Amino acid sequence: MSMKWTVYRDYAAMSRAAAAVIAVQVRAKAASVLGLATGSTPIGTYQELVRMHREDGLDFSLVNTYNLDEYLGLPPDNPQSYSHFMWHHLFGQINIDPERVHIPSGQPEDVNRACRDYDRAIEAAGGIDLQLLGIGRNGHIGFNEPDFYLRTETHLVALTEDTIAANARFFSRPEEVPRSAITMGVGTIMKARHILLLASGADKADVVARMIEGPVTTEVPASILQMHPQVTVLLDEAAAGILMEDERRRRREDQA
Ligand code: PGA
What pLDDT does residue 232 have? 98
Q: Is 138 labeled as catalytic in the residue annotation?
A: yes
**Structure confidence at residue 175 as a pLDDT band (50, 70, 90):** confident
Question: In the structure, what pLDDT confidence band is assigned to residue 174 with cuts at 50, 70 and 90?
Answer: confident
Report d(CA 72, CA 143) in Å as an integer: 12
Q: Which amino acid is at 242?
A: I
Average pLDDT over residues 55-80: 96
Point out the catalytic residue in the list 102, 138, 176, 237.
Answer: 138
Residue 194, SS3? strand
For the chain, percent of residues with pLDDT exceeding 90: 91
Residue 144: pLDDT band with limits 50, 70, 90: very high
Rounded to the nearest angstrom, the distance between the alpha carbon of 171 and the centre of ligand 1 is 19
d(CA 23, CA 20): 5
Check residue 187 and give its pLDDT. Answer: 97
Ligand 1 binding pocket includes 163 (Cβ within 6 Å): no
Domain that holds residue 63: 4-255
Name the pLDDT band for 166 (thresholds 50, 70, 90).
confident
Decide whether any atom of ligand 1 lies within 6 Å of the 139 Cβ. Answer: no
What number is the average pLDDT over the span 18-39? 98
Q: What is the pLDDT of residues 177-202, one digit of tens each?
A: 999 999 999 999 999 999 999 999 99
* Cβ–ligand 1 contact at 67 (below 6 Å): no
Question: How far away, in angstroms, is 134 Cα from ligand 1 center?
Answer: 5
Residue-averaged pLDDT of the chain: 96
Specify the pLDDT at position 33.
98
pLDDT surpasses 80 at 2? no
Any catalytic annotation for residue 245?
no
pLDDT single digits (tens) 202-226? 999 999 999 999 999 999 999 999 9
> Is 153 annotated as catalytic?
no
Rounded to the nearest angstrom, the distance between the alpha carbon of 9 and the centre of ligand 1 is 20
- Tell me the average pLDDT across 1-16: 93
pTM for the full model? 0.96
Domain CATH for 232? 3.40.50.1360
- Give how many domains the chain has, as a whole number: 1
Cα 144 to Cα 159: distance, rounded to the nearest angstrom:
10
Rounded distance, CA 157 to CA 144, Å?
8
Percentage of the chain beyond pLDDT 70 is 100
Residue of minimum CA distance from atom 8 in ligand 1: 136
Catalytic residue among 140, 144, 155, 228: 140
167 belongs to the catalytic site: no
Q: Is 201 in the pocket of ligand 1 (CB under 6 A)?
A: no
pLDDT of residue 1: 58
* Residue 42 CA to ligand 1 centre (angstroms): 8
CA of 39 to the centre of ligand 1 (A): 5
> Mean pLDDT over residues 31-57, rounded?
98
Q: List, for residues 43-53, the tens digit of each pLDDT value.
A: 999 999 999 99
Shortest CA distance to 233 belongs to which of 201, 182, 202, 197? 197
